[in-house]
Structure 1
Amino acid sequence: MERQAKLAILERLVGFKTTGGNELAAAQYLQSLLAEHGITSELQELGNHQANLIAEIGTGQQPVFTVSGHLDTVAVDEAEWDTDPFELVQKDGQFYGSGVTDMKGGVAALVIAMIDLHDHQVPLQGTLRLVLTAGEEADMHGSRKLHADGSMRDSSALLIAEPTGYRTVYANKGEVDFVVTSLGKAAHSSRPNFGINAIQNLMDFLEAVKTKIEQTSAANPDSVLGKTTFTVDLFRGGIQINAIPSKAEAQINTRIVPEYDNEAVIADFKAVLADFNAHHEGEIQVNLLMNIPPVVANPDSRLIHEIVKIATPYMQQMHYSAEEQQQGAEMLAKQGFNPFSTDQLEVLSAAGGTDASELLRDELQGANYAVFGPGNPLKMHQTNESASVQMWFDFIEIYEKLFAQYLN
């Protein structure tokens, strides 16, 4: 496929507004594109304009090498962008647009590599399976559906093209998200003792549960993934300055490590909740939004070794700006893990989760799994999201070599 044809595919993908879901149109476009090259695929419609897409090339037999990416993107504030986020822009060696890093860039690279292998009739001793998912940025219902349907049952390796740049990840934290609702009693602010302040109760509860989780986390670090973390990411409450609020809500994100796992965090949340409600007026209610486990795969797997071998020569030709090198050093300093190198391809763990938490539900420890994709992970979920043009084209070549090598 010519360079301009590859660019056109990425441009079309960026043009689809898949924020908060709405992946169906993008999936239909990719299905049509694959069909133009003689590759059949299955579109799994999930309702609400959402869909998964599955395609295969090769023998249809073992081994099955699954490569995956998600089609949805996070919400953008268009007024804050210097360019139209749904138009692919090239400037100073960078792509700009919603999803160029997370992760339409990775999805496009996977699709193009599969098409090139098929068009050039590269022999594969096994099956290359492309799995594109819906809802990864929300509740991972796309990958959960695929696991429930048994789509991963015969897979011997999984690569997810989330942005890593010239590093590869074999372990990801899990995630438990909570919605915490505080119910109080409205009153005039001049007579606060006539009411029950839902905001104050919510703040006090959050401080209590934060203290509990952070103390337990500090006592139970994981040697691979660090510590379980707790953040308050959304807070709503009140109607006006002179009214005691009767209701308030917060959404909590915890990132989970095996040493202090999902069930333990949930149990601590419930224990603090029961104690708080027993000693306070009003009521705190807690509901789960997401519950996905951590994944710790095999850092010495064949897949990891093939990635390092094939990608290292490309990495050695990659130019990192002084800003990117500084950002890498800051990430290491703040997280205490994830080394950043400009001369060797690091194999490491990551704080963020991936669809692997659902796709690998049956093999969360020791799997033949890697995260490896174009883009700088520090550019994810940011205004003016960008990705290196050179790196994106490099990764298409790397994927073609990796898929052919792994299945021969």
Structure 2
Amino acid sequence: MNKEEKLAILEKLVSFNTSEGNELAEAQYLQDLLLEHGIESEIENLGNHEANLIAEIGNGQKPVFTISGHLDTVAVDVDKWDTDPFTLVRKDGQMYGSGVTDMKGGTAALVIAMITLKDAEFPLNGTLRLVLTAGEESNMHGSHQLYADGAMNDSDTLLIAEPTGYRTVYANKGEVDFKITAQGKAAHSSRPNFGINAIQNLMDVLELIKTKVEARAEQNQDDVLGKTTFTVDIFKGGIQINAIPANAKAEINTRIVPEYSNDEVMADVKAVVDEFNQTHAGEIEIEILMNIPPVIGNPESKLIKDIIKIATSYMKNTEYTPSEKQQGKEMQAKQGFNPFSNDKFDVLSGAGGTDASELLKDKLMGTNYAVFGPGNPLKMHQTNEYASEQMWFDFIDIYEKLFKEYL
């Protein structure tokens, strides 16, 4: 497969608008592509045009090396893009398009490397299993279903191709997302005592929750992942300036570490809300939107060591733009490491979650797990998302060598 044929695959993936799910058409394209190269695959139709895809090459025996990416992308505001987000645009060594970083670039690189091994009839001492998931950017229902199906029962190793650039992540925080709804009573603003202000109640209870969660997070930090975090990311309420609001809602994101677990955070939030409801007029209700645990792999695993051995030479040949170098300095100041180093291959923990929280649900600690993929993670979920073309081609080579080395 030549350079232009590889780019054509990425171009096709970018052309699918999977920002609201709708992964089925993309999965069907990949199934046809794999079959052209003698690789059979299975599409798991989840309904509503959403789908997972599973494919394997090798001898069908253990060890099983699972490689994974997600097919969906975050929503895009087309009007704010300088180019069509669903058309791959190449300019000044960069590639622009929805998902080119998160994570159609990584998915395409995995598929191409797998096809390359199959075309070369390279003998693998084990099984290379490709798992592409639906809904990672929403509720991870694709990976949740794959876990329920037993797709990971015999797997020894998991690599997820989320964008990391030339470094790798072996641990991720978990996540609990809440919707908090306040029900009050409408009234004219000149007579506030005739109503129950849902916005005020919601603000008050959120402050109580925040105080409790952050205090416990401070006391229960993890040596690898740091501390649990709390953010209010959506807040809605009110209809006009002279009306006491009868309802309001907020959505909260918490990022979880093992020392202050998912269950403990949920219990603390519920306790605050229960006490608030007993002492205030109106009603506060809780809905859990997402609940995934943290994952801490083995930083000394064969997988991590093979990644470092194979990828270090590519890292050292990388040139970064002035803008990227400036971003690196900012990240170093905020997080204590420089993501654009080309003299040391960093092995890190990450604040974001991945499908590993579902796929490794019964193997969350000490497993052979790595996040390692093309792209700058600072460009995830961005307008005018872009990725380095050279890095993308590098990762195709790296993956091919890694799969050979590991199996």
The TM-score range, normalised by the shorter chain, is over 0.9
| Pairs within 5 Å for 1:17-96 | 17-96=17-96
CA distance in 2, matches of 1:111, 1:339: 26
Offset at 1:220?
1.4
Offset at 1:333?
2.4
Q: Tell me, what secondary structure is at the counterpart of 1:29?
A: helix
Q: Deviations over 1:181-216 (max 9, x none)?
A: 000000111111110011111111111101111111
Offset at 1:345?
1.1
CA distance in 2, matches of 1:274, 1:339: 43
Partner residue of 1:240?
240
Contact 2:183-2:198 at 8 Å conserved across structures: yes
Instruction: Give the AA of the match of 1:222.
Output: D
Q: Deviations over 1:133-168 (max 9, x none)?
A: 000001101001011111000001100000000010
Contact 1:19-1:72 at 8 Å conserved across structures: yes
CA distance in 1, matches of 2:183, 2:338: 41
CA distance in 2, matches of 1:182, 1:191: 20
Partner residue of 2:143?
143
CA distance in 2, matches of 1:335, 1:142: 31
Instruction: Give the AA of the match of 1:29.
Output: Y
| Pairs within 5 Å for 1:8-407 | 8-336=8-336, 341-407=341-407
Distance 1:230 1:66, change over 3 A: same
Contact 1:338-1:349 at 8 Å conserved across structures: no
Offset at 1:251?
0.7
Instruction: Give the AA of the match of 2:245.
Output: P
CA distance in 2, matches of 1:198, 1:192: 12
CA distance in 2, matches of 1:325, 1:369: 28
Instruction: Give the AA of the match of 1:192.
Output: P
Instruction: Give the AA of the match of 1:365.
Output: M
Offset at 1:128?
0.4
* Root mean square deviation of aligned Cα: 1.0
Contact 1:20-1:137 at 8 Å conserved across structures: no
Offset at 1:36?
0.8
Offset at 1:240?
1.4
CA distance in 2, matches of 1:158, 1:314: 22
Offset at 1:314?
0.6
Give the structure-2-normalised TM-score: 0.99
Offset at 1:336?
4.5
Gaps of 5+ in 2: none
Offset at 1:335?
3.3
Contact 1:179-1:249 at 8 Å conserved across structures: yes
Offset at 1:219?
1.4
Moved more, 20-29 or 337-346: 337-346
Offset at 1:331?
2.1
Offset at 1:340?
5.0
Say how many residue pairs are matched.
407
Q: Tell me, what secondary structure is at the counterpart of 2:68?
A: strand
CA distance in 2, matches of 1:219, 1:117: 49
Q: Tell me, what secondary structure is at the counterpart of 1:155?
A: coil
CA distance in 1, matches of 2:124, 2:283: 60
Q: Deviations over 1:54-110 (max 9, x none)?
A: 000010111110000000000011111111111100111111110000000000000
Offset at 1:325?
2.2
CA distance in 2, matches of 1:363, 1:101: 28
Instruction: Give the AA of the match of 1:312.
Output: T
Q: Tell me, what secondary structure is at the counterpart of 2:156?
A: strand
Offset at 1:226?
0.8
Moved more, 334-343 or 203-212: 334-343
Contact 1:226-1:337 at 8 Å conserved across structures: no
Q: Tell me, what secondary structure is at the counterpart of 2:107?
A: helix
CA distance in 1, matches of 2:92, 2:200: 49
Offset at 1:274?
1.1
Distance 1:91 1:389, change over 3 A: same
Instruction: Give the AA of the match of 1:371.
Output: V
CA distance in 2, matches of 1:186, 1:333: 47
Distance 1:399 1:21, change over 3 A: same
Offset at 1:339?
5.9
CA distance in 1, matches of 2:330, 2:150: 41
Q: Tell me, what secondary structure is at the counterpart of 1:291?
A: strand
Contact 2:324-2:340 at 8 Å conserved across structures: no
Q: Tell me, what secondary structure is at the counterpart of 2:199?
A: helix
Moved more, 382-391 or 313-322: 313-322
Instruction: Give the AA of the match of 1:208.
Output: L
CA distance in 2, matches of 1:11, 1:323: 26
CA distance in 1, matches of 2:193, 2:27: 56
Offset at 1:326?
2.3
Q: Tell me, what secondary structure is at the counterpart of 1:361?
A: coil
Moved more, 325-334 or 204-213: 325-334
Instruction: Give the AA of the match of 2:61.
Output: Q
Contact 1:338-1:350 at 8 Å conserved across structures: no
Contact 2:329-2:338 at 8 Å conserved across structures: no
Instruction: Give the AA of the match of 2:226.
Output: G
